[in-house]
A and B are shown apart, each in its own frame.
Chain A
């Protein structure tokens, strides 16, 4: 298995631009998670899905952030418009049967908003 796949690996954009991050979970995993890692706040959960349905989006910072999971093998995290404070590493993870089970992380997308 290829593991969790994320793209792009690096993204540099200018303030105000739309940014779309992509994730492909491990096949057969029912749960998908989006995390953000910053120096100040560490690793924080943004949103997670169960069988493509958003379950908990309480970590999404504001309306500029949105996430979708149109099918079992694909999810996007969109930031529109982006701001410099959104600069961080964004990780996608998946787990087989629940948020309390082992989560398998993708390589992350390093985002820099200028």
Chain B
């Protein structure tokens, strides 16, 4: 069983604040790291797929970095808005497991 951990479990920030959270995963046999955004009562929506050590991806105010050697990825949100409120899931894919293993998510609430 692969261990994918996300921290913090939940986070409240004020509108306009920048924030970041962490995904930790096994550093061996790495293939890909995914980030998904999951709004309440909707389905997970893909943000990024990252495959190379040192990868940085950006979509609007959201960006992510990847360190495969030490087994972590950061997701950053610049100037948080209420519509950013969601659960952010990371998922790890290894060459041996042949399936995505999801973390438990970071639940972000942006207060107006």
What residues make up the interface of A, taking CB atoms closer than 8 Å to B?
42-45, 48, 55-56, 91, 99-108
Known interface pairs A42-B104, A45-B100. Does A100 touch B46 (Cβ–Cβ under 8 Å)? Answer: no
User: Does the CB pair A56–B98 fall under 8 Å?
Assistant: yes
Residues on B lying within 8 angstroms of A by beta carbon are 31-32, 34, 42-46, 49, 89, 93, 98-100, 102-105
23 examples of A-B residue contacts, CB within 8 angstroms: A42-B103, A42-B104, A42-B105, A43-B44, A43-B89, A43-B102, A48-B99, A56-B99, A91-B43, A99-B99, A99-B100, A100-B31, A100-B100, A101-B32, A101-B49, A102-B34, A103-B34, A103-B46, A103-B100, A104-B46, A107-B42, A107-B43, A108-B43
Q: How far, in whole Å, are A100 and B94 apart by their CA atoms in the complex?
A: 8
Q: How far does the Cβ of B99 sit from chain A's closest Cβ, in whole Å?
A: 5
Q: If A56-B99, A91-B43, A105-B43 touch, does A100 touch B104 (CB 8 Å cutoff)?
A: no
Contacts of A43 in B (CB 8 A): 44, 89, 102
Distance in angstroms between the alpha carbons of A22 and B103 in the assembled complex: 26
Query: Which applies to chain A's interface (DSSP): helix, strand, loop or mixed?
Result: strand
A45 adjacent to B43 (CB under 8 Å): no
- Give the top 7 A-B pairs by smallest Cβ distance, nearest first: A105-B43, A100-B93, A43-B102, A102-B46, A100-B32, A42-B104, A105-B44
Closest to A47 in B: B99
| A-B contacts, CB under 8 A, total | 40
Contacts of A99 in B (CB 8 A): 93, 98-100
Q: How far is the CA of A48 from the CA of B101 in the complex (A)?
A: 13
Docked complex Cα distance between A44 and B4 (Å): 12
Give which listed residue, B31, B98, B103, contacts A55 with CB less than 8 A: B98
Residue in A55, A101, A106 with the greatest tally of chain B CB atoms within 10 Å: A101
Give me 4 other A-B pairs in contact (C-beta within 8 A), A91-B43, A107-B43 excluded: A42-B104, A42-B105, A43-B102, A102-B49
With a CB–CB cut-off of 8 A, which chain A residues contact B49? 101-102
In the complex, how many angstroms separate the beta carbon of B95 from the nearest chain A beta carbon? 8
CB neighbours (8 Å) of A104 from chain B are: 46
Measured between beta carbons, the chain B residues less than 8 angstroms from A107 are 42-43
How far apart sit A42 and B104, CA to CA, in the bound complex (Å)? 6
